[in-house]
Amino acid sequence: MLTFEIEAKDHFRRVDSFLRNLLPSANISYLKKLLASGHVKVNGEEPEPTRVLRRTDRVTLKESGKTAAFLANSTPDLDILFEDGWIVCANKAPGLAVHRTVDPEEPNLVQLGEQFLQKRDGIGRLRPVNRLDKGTSGAIILAKSHVAAGMFGRMVHDEGLGKLYLAVVEGKLPKQGEIDAPLDGKESQTRYLRVYSGGGSSLVAVYPLTGRMHQIRQHFKMIGNPILGDRRYGGRSVLGLTGHALHSFTTRLVHPATGEALHIPAPLPAALLKMVCKLTALREDSLLQALDEVPASELTIPASA
């Protein structure tokens, strides 16, 4: 039996995502078989693939020659949060561009994803469904085909995605609030909930009610609380932080092909987790506990918050 204790870097990761990154070269059907057959357990119990792991959870995997051959020797280049025959949802690193940039040598998420799929499956072509700025980390959806791209693209256009971001901004904010300020002549609203304040900065949960370009970054600049590391919009530089302190923490959608309601969490990058603890003087376990209590949707924010 192989045993793994969940660390902070995998706190808030789904079981199927943990298994995917543990066995990166295994195909989807093999991972589903492991879960369905009871070969994977969390704290001694058979989990649902959608179960969200917490730090100190113990994952066990029945050992076999086939499983051992799939085990990764190092962290995969592509952090997959969810995958099926239609899409790959990846946890994008901060500072990594989604598409090819003017520098042909600079890596990008689409390229890394296609290389991963080609190595594993022999084929692979990916098309981004939603967007994330280069400096922003977290969940992004990549379609595996032209048909999937069209289907998910229409879904995003017509219904949008349920998005929750985490940001570290300068100064102390009220416990909760809404920023209602047009961008490029279009109605734009961003709701937020302060999770913690300390050291002259605040960790906030951010719920964009509209989807304008750089909406969150611009809105927090407008109210005088720019996102740390976001020099374009007035944020100060932070030593050791790549990109800026904005992370796409969870994504919610109804799968347009299967009808499944998906809730896809994205663990925080290690550097951002460390920075939040340092700036707010929060212990790591206290921070992770606070993240567990963040409402998944603006509709579930307590009125008394």
Mean pLDDT of 287-291: 91
Question: Pick the residue with more confidence: 187 or 297?
Answer: 187
Residue in this structure with the two tokens 């879960």, named with its chain if needed: 35
Bridge partners (DSSP) of residue 87 are: 143
Q: In terms of Cα–Cα distance, which of 191, 282, 216, 273 is closest to 12?
A: 273
Question: Could you report the per-residue pLDDT of 152-171, keeping only the tens digit for each?
Answer: 999 998 888 999 999 999 99
Distance CA 45, CA 106 (A): 43
Total-model pTM: 0.93
pLDDT band at residue 263 using 50, 70 and 90 as cut-offs:
very high
In SS3 terms, 162-184 reads as EEEEEEEEECCCCCEEEEECCEC
Interacting residues of 198 by C-beta distance below 8 A, sequence separation 6+: 279, 280, 281, 282
The region of weakest confidence among 95-104, 237-246, 258-267 is 95-104
The CA–CA distances, whole Å, from 30 to 66, 67, 72 equal 10, 10, 15
The CA–CA distances, whole Å, from 131 to 30, 138, 144, 210, 298 equal 30, 11, 16, 14, 21
Mean pLDDT of 28-40: 93
Question: Could you report the per-residue pLDDT of 115-164, keeping only the tens digit for each?
Answer: 999 999 988 899 999 989 999 999 999 999 999 999 999 999 888 899 99
CA 268, 269, 273, 279 dihedral sign is negative
pLDDT surpassing 90 at residue 199: no
The CA–CA distances, whole Å, from 170 to 74, 181, 205, 237, 282 equal 36, 19, 14, 11, 16
pLDDT surpassing 90 at residue 214: yes
pLDDT surpassing 60 at residue 103: yes
Mean pLDDT of 92-120: 88
Are the beta carbons of 297 and 207 closer than 8 angstroms? yes
pLDDT band at residue 110 using 50, 70 and 90 as cut-offs:
very high
Bridge partners (DSSP) of residue 247 are: 137, 166
Measure the N-to-C terminal CA separation of the chain; round to a whole number of Å.
Answer: 45
Mean pLDDT of 215-224: 97
Whole-number pLDDT of residue 102: 67
> Within a 10 A sphere around the Cβ of 91, how many other Cβ atoms?
24
Whole-number pLDDT of residue 111: 93
> Quick one: what percent of the chain has pLDDT higher than 90?
73
Which domains are delineated in the chain? 1-76 (3.10.290.10), 162-297 (3.30.2350.10)
The CA–CA distances, whole Å, from 7 to 13, 21, 33, 221 equal 10, 14, 25, 34
Interacting residues of 275 by C-beta distance below 8 A, sequence separation 6+: 168, 228, 238, 240, 241, 245
